[in-house]
Structure 1
Amino acid sequence: MKGIPINVKLREGKKKGYNRRLRAKGIVPGILYGADKPPTLIEVDERELNAILRAQAAREHFLVSFTLDSKETSYAFVKEIQHDPIKGRPIHIDLESVSLTRPIVAEVPIEFVGTPEGVKKGGVLSVNLRELAVRGLIEEIPDAIQVDISKLDLGDTLHIKDVKVEKIKVLNEPDEVVASIFVPRLVEEKLAAPTETAKEAPETEAQEKPETKESKGKAKEE
């Protein structure tokens, strides 16, 4: 899991007046904590943060990467961003540090691959999950989990237990539905039509069977 690059700097002051002056300059104050490290006062550029938030609009918590007081890359989850209730601008950010040597829990997007057979036949793909909860080392957790749905036919359902992953553990319930192929009524009626026609065929054939000489002779004898 790579994380979204963001520039994070150490923050010198912590009083309200100092933070207010930072915000006036387009800088968002914040705090970095976790991973058995003492809390650290930080600051990030407001424009850069807003650009990241727009790109991650559908996700509340996501991973970022940065360098702070060393050349080593650090990782952290965005845990909370406070916004101005009137202007909507971000006014504070909380980052939770991630350990590189301990398993973490993360939400990973699902990337569906292929066109389901059922969709080709007129079915509709119904997606129940777009992210999976997983546990593993940060370096082993992928940025997205690819799920092949090309073999899903009409009426088929894909469960968590059908999703194959390596080196990490999926925390969702095994029977939880990931996606399914819904069969519209019109398609269902078309599939049922040949069966009904086949049942009616013998009767129609008997009614339309032409008379033979033998059958005419029997009719005269009667």
Structure 2
Amino acid sequence: METIKIAGVKRADFGKKESKHIRKEGMIPCTIYGRGETVHFSVDAKAVKPLIYTPQSYLVEFDIEGQKEVGVMREVQYHPVKDNVLHIDFYHVVPGKPISIDVPVRLTGNSEGVKQGGKLILSKRKVRISATMENLPDEIVVDVTTLGLGKSIFVGDLQYDNITLLTPASTAVCAVKMTRAARGAAAAAAE
């Protein structure tokens, strides 16, 4: 999995007033928790843009005044009107210990159903997985070459080494739906 490096500054003061002051300086208050400890810090708002405004998931290496921390983003709080970031929560990543994270899905191949006039629809853009830090993939690749017209691929159909899929097995990842043009061609061929 790709890694982003971000520098942070420790916070000593907490609360609404202090957080507001931090945001006025162009910083975002953050918390990284897990491993039995919680570290409060703030980061530059521009430094987290590649982390937030993307469909990808990343490991984040923090340098908080010389203290090294590795984590994954858990939750982002946005302002209800302005839509700017108010607070970010991260979770510690420990080598050898599995973590759960949402990973994007990428479809590959040319589906048989699409060749027959169907439309390929991606129903689930991200899938929650559990894996150790060393085995975390950048994306889950799903081959749709054998997917026929009117058929679906479910999370339960996917198998990967060293990865546990946490999304329910009955969740559809993608499907090939019949279009109106394909229905008309099928009706004409039947007559």
TM-score if structure 1 supplies the norm length?
0.71
Matches within 5 A, 1:116-135: 116-135=111-130
Is 1:165 the counterpart of 2:160? The answer is yes
> How far apart in 2 are the matches of 1:184 and 1:39?
52
> How far apart in 2 are the matches of 1:12 and 1:176?
41
> How far apart in 2 are the matches of 1:84 and 1:159?
35
Q: Deviations over 1:134-182 (max 9, x none)?
A: 1221221201011111222222222223323111111233343222211
Aligned pairs, number? 190
> What is the match of residue 84 of structure 2?
89
Give percent identity, aligned residues only.
24
> How far apart in 2 are the matches of 1:189 and 1:9?
60
* Candidates 135, 142, 153, aligned match of 1:140: 135
Kept in 1, the 8 Å contact 2:129–2:164? The answer is yes
Which structure features the higher share of helix residues?
1
> What is the match of residue 77 of structure 1?
72
Which structure ranks higher in relative contact order (CA pairs < 8 Å, sequence separation ≥ 6)? Answer: 2
Q: CA deviation at 1:85?
A: 4.6
Unaligned 5+ residue runs, structure 1?
Answer: 197-222
CA RMSD between the two structures = 2.8
CA distance 1:143–1:70, change in 2 (3 Å): farther
> How far apart in 2 are the matches of 1:182 and 1:19?
49
Matches within 5 A, 1:73-222: 74-85=69-80, 87-196=82-191
> How far apart in 1 are the matches of 2:53 and 2:180?
39
TM-score if structure 2 supplies the norm length?
0.81
Greater Cα radius of gyration, structure 1 or 2: 1
